[in-house]
Amino acid sequence: MRANVIQEDPTFVQATSSKSGFMGVSACETRRNALDSRVIGRANRSDLAPGLEAIATRLSSDEQTRLAALLTFCEPLPQDCSRLQTLSLREWLKLLRWLDVSGLALCFYDRISEAGRMELLPTPIAAGLELRLEENTLRTQSMLAESIAIQRDFQNAGLSYAILKGLSFWPNSVSRPELRSQFDLDYLVAENDVPEARRILASRGYRLYASNGRSWEFKRNEKPGVTLKDLYKDTGSFRVELHTQPTGAGLVSPLETLEWRDFSGFAMPVLSPVDLLLGQGMHAFKHICSEYVRASHLLEFRRHVLFLRNEQAFWAELRERAHRYPRAAMGLGNVTFLITQVMGEFAPESLTSWTADQLPAPVKLWVTTYGDRAVLGNVSGSKLYLLLNRELDQPVRSTRRPIWRSLFPPCLPPSVIRAFPNDSLSVRLGRYRMQIGLICSRARFHFIEGLRLAHEAYRWRRLLHHGAR
């Protein structure tokens, strides 16, 4: 049954900006100079292997435009952002599609409005963004109502859980929840409570779609024919993911240090501040190590760090907590270094000293060589992450799968929408059309990006060889 839309709580959407801020003027100036030279590599060269030189790579016209849009989140607004004013309507529509898929469209519109630079936006683009915001406000309210209903059942059953991502990022990472493009509801659940959580979701009409042992994906009221035009609409369909976290010697479960926050009059458990930032950083790292880097994940992490920049006790606690997890320093360092390359310095030394500054030279080389392309590239993504994964897995090189086996998946993509009993012919045709479209687009992606990876893999070996001299 579809959740009713609830009234918006003024305190829920109030922008909280007393601590939040944007990148300083000097960092923005540095990044603007880099934009003029179209150079990807902007790392501290002394941190790289002796004799290693940055590779100057020209950004495509589309990538330059996307970079100009991303730099609007600097303070003050960089002069290069005036490039947006010269775009044709066709170029704006291409940029808008990237903003939609990258999760930045609504934050971008809010930022332009906040900066008083609405003249940068053509009237049709401004109207389209305003409509997106109106639709997403209703969608956010609907998702909040659904989340409250699920959590009320969780709490009545006495489950140990916490909300992940989504609402928990407000206000540290996003000034208003309706500015986020959120696709699902995520919960961290105690391992012993997973069976009951699954039963509760099943009773609400959710169907299990995928499971990998530590997470379960459920969908309810799935509909064929949903496209990018429906990205911000309240369609009445919902997706829920349950997650568990391994426990072991020296590890403290995040569920033992929860905080309770009020959202629209309902108390929800969220992760502690340290676990929240750590989890956010590792989630962004996971996406860097995959086909597509969603720029909104990086922007939200950057804002979160700026929100807490001067909290020295926090950074000390984060460092102590991160040392309990083998890849935490590597993950946080990778994310921090990539954001710095694309948008300029933003993180305090109390974070970078044990994360970004300690990255292995090959990992830094990948970021300085391919970082801009990973963030600003086409929405279809790329396979360049496989080169990074090889370097991250360096200690287990002898046991890892050859890179060529990752070029093509061993099986077809899973069903986007599963059959319902007594489906009508139109619904079945819509479901088949959606699945065939997915298979064709993925086949095209694997073919084109496989060829590009083959070329870049050869180039990458030469870069590593010169860097090792």
Model pLDDT for residues 134-150, shown as the tens digit of each residue: 999 999 999 999 999 99
166-175, 235-244, 379-388: range with lowest mean pLDDT = 379-388
d(CA 455, CA 291): 17
Give the per-residue pLDDT at 406.
58
| Polymer length of the chain | 469
- Mean pLDDT confidence for 450-460: 82
CATH ID of 146-271, from 3.40.50.620, 3.30.460.40, 3.30.70.120, 3.30.70.20: 3.30.460.40
Check pLDDT > 50 for residue 433. Answer: yes
**Domain limits, the chain:** 146-271
Model pLDDT for residues 149-181, shown as the tens digit of each residue: 999 999 999 999 999 999 999 999 999 999 998
- Mean pLDDT confidence for 242-252: 74
Check pLDDT > 60 for residue 49. Answer: no
- Residue 112 tokens read as 């332009």
Give the per-residue pLDDT at 82.
79
Model pLDDT for residues 437-452, shown as the tens digit of each residue: 767 877 777 777 778 8
Check pLDDT > 80 for residue 365. Answer: yes
141-145, 244-248, 323-327: range with lowest mean pLDDT = 244-248
Check pLDDT > 90 for residue 222. Answer: no
Give the per-residue pLDDT at 37.
36
